[in-house]
């Protein structure tokens, strides 16, 4: 994958964490593993053509799923910054954490890059007992009365100031997903108050053009958050360069399919058409996921929902055909059907598939290209994904 990325000749490469698997408190071991990456021919080829900006996740921070409880984080930080050629005496070396930013381009073509630190300050997360479904991970959302810290106050203050700087596009690098619904794996959804604080900060600062870029998962996908008062917020996840996870974790915020083998994310900005062209590529360079995001979508304005629920949708369970019958909507797919009623902006009801069944819910996204779907088994919660997309949707490939 590193060789493939080098062949793409990117101007900028964002290393979103787990850049090595350190998993140690021995700083000698940590340095050795960074040196091993430095000697890797693919890494050498990539860094010759691309500027590199990095943040860390748990494995290069030092320990699996760790946060503020990882004691050698200051020593680990210095090794991390040395690897990424951070100048001596820089602000990044002086303050706690590894968050950083830069602005590229000029005028109406400014691109702001924000790399957040989701490890140095993060409070402990909690185990889920029992899990609702076997395919969910082992963590639960923290309660309001439990400590929830993701960024820390200094980083929050810094982020608010950065979001007020002028830019046409803001790419925010995250080591764990913010846009995913809760699925039991590490993500902002385990700290819902912090997730909500981030969304409110975008609304408060009126910061436009934000796209989230995340890693960690060992699968690639696109998540989407839509809510009143905010433009569509995409979280583009590319993970991992050399590992896979099959099946992908549950995520009702997913649009389209996930890709579960080695992959990398590519983004081209078409300034003439004002479109972000994003791709997930495999090790041969083939596009496995492709999505075009018009910059006009990423602006604050009165939300209008377009497109009808009726019709045909490609979905993770095959072709889903929706027809209205009286005050209900009936969906059929290769192995079953669902009966739905409109509740607010969503369509909710029951699915049945031979002797099985459960609850389900669908919502058409504002752009009209996607269905965000969720389902449960039996009386279980709506925690499992059922995404759909128009076959002829422009700028979309899954």
Sequence ranges of the domains in the chain: 2-298, 311-397
User: What is the DSSP-derived secondary structure letter of residue 318?
Assistant: B
Angle between helices 73-83 and 27-38 (to 10 degrees): 20
Extract the tokens encoding 208. Answer: 């436009």
Q: Within the chain, what is the greatest distance between any pair of CA atoms? A: 70
Question: Where do we find the tokens 């860390």?
Answer: 56
Could you report the per-residue pLDDT of 120-171, keeping only the tens digit for each? 999 999 999 889 999 999 999 999 999 999 999 999 999 999 999 999 999 9
Question: Where do we find the tokens 């583009």?
Answer: 236
Extract the tokens encoding 50. Answer: 């691309």
Could you report the per-residue pLDDT of 293-340, keeping only the tens digit for each? 999 999 999 877 667 999 999 999 999 999 999 999 999 999 999 999
Cα torsion 212, 213, 218, 221: sign: positive
One digit per residue, the tens of pLDDT, for the chain of length 398 reads 999 999 999 999 999 999 999 999 999 999 999 999 999 999 999 999 999 999 999 999 999 999 999 999 999 999 999 999 999 999 999 999 999 999 999 999 999 999 999 999 999 999 998 899 999 999 999 999 999 999 999 999 999 999 999 999 999 999 999 999 999 999 999 999 999 999 999 999 999 999 999 999 999 999 999 999 999 999 999 999 999 899 999 999 999 999 999 999 999 999 999 999 999 999 999 999 999 999 999 999 987 766 799 999 999 999 999 999 999 999 999 999 999 999 999 999 999 998 899 999 999 999 999 999 999 999 999 999 999 999 888 899 99
The per-residue pLDDT for 392 is 85
180, 235 Cβ separation under 8 angstroms: yes
Q: How far apart, in whole angstroms, are the C-alpha atoms of residue 378 and residue 384?
A: 12
CATH topology of domain 2-298: Purple Acid Phosphatase; chain A, domain 2 (3.60.21)
The per-residue pLDDT for 103 is 98
């Amino acid at each position: 994958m590193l060789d493939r990325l080098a062949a793409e000749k990117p101007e900028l490469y964002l290393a979103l964490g787990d850049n090595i698997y350190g998993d140690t408190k021995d700083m000698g071991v940590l340095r050795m593993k960074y040196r091993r990456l430095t000697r890797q021919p693919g890494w050498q080829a990539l860094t010759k053509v691309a500027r590199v900006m990095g943040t860390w996740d748990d494995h290069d921070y030092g320990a699996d799923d760790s946060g503020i409880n990882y004691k050698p984080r200051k020593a680990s930080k210095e090794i991390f910054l040395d690897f990424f050629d951070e100048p001596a005496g820089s602000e990044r070396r002086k303050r706690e954490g590894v968050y950083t930013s830069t602005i590229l381009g000029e005028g109406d073509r400014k691109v702001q890059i924000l790399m957040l630190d989701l490890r140095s300050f993060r409070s402990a997360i909690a185990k889920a007992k029992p899990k609702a479904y076997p395919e969910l991970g082992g963590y639960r959302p923290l309660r309001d009365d439990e400590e929830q810290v993701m960024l820390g106050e200094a980083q929050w203050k810094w982020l608010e100031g950065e979001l007020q700087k002028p830019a046409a596009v803001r790419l925010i690098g995250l080591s764990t997903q913010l846009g995913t619904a809760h699925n039991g794996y590490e993500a902002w959804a385990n700290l819902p108050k912090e997730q909500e604080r981030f969304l409110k900060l975008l609304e408060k600062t009126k910061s436009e053009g934000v796209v989230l870029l995340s890693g960690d998962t060992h699968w690639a996908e696109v998540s989407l958050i839509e809510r009143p008062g905010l433009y569509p917020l995409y979280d583009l996840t590319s993970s991992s360069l050399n590992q896979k996870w099959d099946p992908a974790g549950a995520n009702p915020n997913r649009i389209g399919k996930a890709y579960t083998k080695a992959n990398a994310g590519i983004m081209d900005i078409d300034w003439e058409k004002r479109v972000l062209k994003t791709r997930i590529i495999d090790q041969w360079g083939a596009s496995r996921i492709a999505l075009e995001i018009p910059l006009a979508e990423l602006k604050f304005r009165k939300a209008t929902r377009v497109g009808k629920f009726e019709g045909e949708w490609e979905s993770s369970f095959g072709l889903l055909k929706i027809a209205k019958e009286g005050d209900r909507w009936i969906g059929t797919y290769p192995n079953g059907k669902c009966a739905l009623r409109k509740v607010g902006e969503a369509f909710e009801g029951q699915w049945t598939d031979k002797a099985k069944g459960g609850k389900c819910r669908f919502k058409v996204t504002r752009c009209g290209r996607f269905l965000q779907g969720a389902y449960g088994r039996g009386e279980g919660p709506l925690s499992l994904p059922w995404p759909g997309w128009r076959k002829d949707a422009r700028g979309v490939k899954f």
